Structure 1
Amino acid sequence: MTYIIAEPCVDVLDRACVEECPVDCIYEGGRALYIQPDECVDCGACEPVCPVEAIFYEDDVPDEWEPYVSANVDFFVDLGSPGGASKVGKTDYDPPFVKNLPPMGEED
């Protein structure tokens, strides 16, 4: 099991979780952040610092955001487990589910 970053993060990309992560397992896509499940040590340090409350333990993802579990898996299909997000930097890739979402996170 691992943590999942869900819809509240899309187009927000606050990155407080990235700074808090002790193992550098939170990767940045074009529109969202993703947690590499093989690199995550399930410490939970990222969850309380997320200002938009987008991080959930995989078993606790709200039903309406369940597709983000698959999106997180899909993000790492080609990327694999590079051993640290700082080695990779920001990518322009998002899984189709996230890429095709309407713009989010904007204040009215």
Structure 2
Amino acid sequence: MTYVIGEPCVDVKDRACVDECPVDCIYEGERTLYIHPDECVDCGACEPVCPVEAIYYEDDLPDALQPYLQDNDDFFSTVLPGRDAPLGSPGGAVKLGALDVDTPLVAGLPRRATSP
């Protein structure tokens, strides 16, 4: 089991969850954040600090956000556009840094207007 970041995070990426995560398993894509399903220790520290309520324990994921369960896994297990291999388990988001890629699900969403 793991925690999942859903659509409310897209184009927001507040990163409060990243600061709370004790195992550095929240990775940054171009438009959203992703929780590595194998590196997450299910502590739940990320969930209450998310200002847009985008993080759910997978068993509590609302029906509308169900596609994000597979999407979070796909970020690590599939070859993403512009990459030649899956990310796999890099062993920490900080050392990897922000990536300029997202899953097709996230990349295909309309961009949100940002405040000046």
Aligning the two structures, in what range does the TM-score lie when normalised by the shorter sequence? over 0.9
Aligned to 1:102: 110
Give TM-score, length-normalised by structure 2.
Answer: 0.89
> Which residue number in structure 1 is paired with residue 83 of structure 2?
none
Q: Give the counterpart letter for 2:88 in structure 1.
A: G
Which 4+ stretches in 1 moved above 2 angstroms?
104-107
Under a length normalisation based on structure 1, what TM-score does the superposition of the two structures give? Answer: 0.95
Whether the 8 Å CA contact 1:36–1:76 is kept in 2: the answer is yes
Letter of the structure 2 residue corresponding to residue 47 of structure 1:
E
Quickly say closer, same or farther: Cα 1:24–1:103, change in 2 above 3 A.
Answer: same
Q: Post-superposition shift, 1:105?
A: 6.2
- The residue aligned with 2:33 is 33
Instruction: Letter of the 2:44 partner, please give it.
Output: G
Q: 1:101 to 1:16 in 2, by over 3 A?
A: same
- Which position in structure 2 is the counterpart of 1:72? 72
The structure whose residues are more often helix, as a share, is: 1
CA distance in 1: counterparts of 2:65 and 2:2, whole angstroms: 15
Kindly provide the CA deviation profile for residues 2-54 of structure 1, in whole angstroms up to 9, marking residues without a partner as x: 00000110000000000000000000001110000111110000000000010
- Gaps of at least 5 residues in structure 1 are none
Structure 2: runs of 5+ lacking an equivalent: 78-85
